[in-house]
Amino acid sequence: MTRRTVFHAAILPAVVLVTGGMTAPQDDTIPASPVAATAAAAGPLRLTASLSERSLYVSRGDSTLGAYAITIGLDEHPTPTGTFRIRKLIWNPRWVPPDEPWAKNKTARGPGDKLNPMKVVKMFFNEPDYYIHGTADLKSLGGTGSHGCLRMNPDEAAAVARWLMEHGGEPREENWFLRILHSRREEKVVHLKNPISLTITE
């Protein structure tokens, strides 16, 4: 399914700056710094996800800084609605099958494993079960397919995660992201000093 996706050139990697389609994730992409893109906007950073639109919006003040296609939960595994706080991110996350019928006989996958469904980063909004994360299944974007989480293009998820760190009190230098995104076997947990709001609506 193809969905129109709006990007802010100042904060997204050039490889995903497209209109009318999605590109494949780039293994060595480093998300650009969001500082310049948000300098003119006032107020705290906030995220909003519309389940009906299958879109995630990043805003500050009255300005919408970015809009991204997402995959939402299946009918039998709906994405929860409400207002949440993103307090923790994990870069290069491992995947451990949950104790759920759908995960029976699934195998745990380490950071960077090609069969790991968690790509690049996951951002928890309702621990421990619900988070935003990168996915390799780009064809699912704009539709349903998850077990309640919100899936994103991995490059876009990395850019949003960096935004969260900048505005959540845990900024990092370029070399930090370079190391994390080139060393995919290294899992790194980041706790935000200033949690970021995420509101999920129908």
- Domain CATH code at residue 132: 2.40.440.10
pLDDT 10s digits, 138-157 = 999 999 999 999 999 999 99
Copy the structure tokens of residue 81.
């609605």
Residue 6 lies in a domain: no
Percentage of the chain modeled with pLDDT above 90: 66
pLDDT at residue number 70:
98
Residue 131 lies in a domain: yes
Number of domains in the chain: 1
**pTM of the full predicted structure?**
0.81
Q: Which residue shows structure tokens 């029976």?
A: 104
Say whether pLDDT at 13 is over 80: no
pLDDT at residue number 29:
53
pLDDT 10s digits, 22-36 = 444 444 555 555 555
Residue 24 lies in a domain: no
Residue 5 lies in a domain: no
Most confident of 3-17, 37-51, 107-121: 107-121
Q: How much is the average pLDDT of 64-87? A: 97
pLDDT at residue number 34:
57
Say whether pLDDT at 20 is over 80: no
Residue 9 lies in a domain: no
88 — pLDDT class (breaks 50, 70, 90): very high
Computed over every residue of the chain, the mean pLDDT equals: 84
Residue 2 lies in a domain: no
CA–CA distance from 133 to each of 40, 42, 105, 137 (Å)? 28, 27, 22, 12
Residue 23 lies in a domain: no
Range of the domain at 178: 14-18+30-201
Residue 46 lies in a domain: yes
Q: CA-to-CA distance for 24 and 36, rounded, in angstroms?
A: 26
For residue 104, the surrounding DSSP H or E stretch is: none
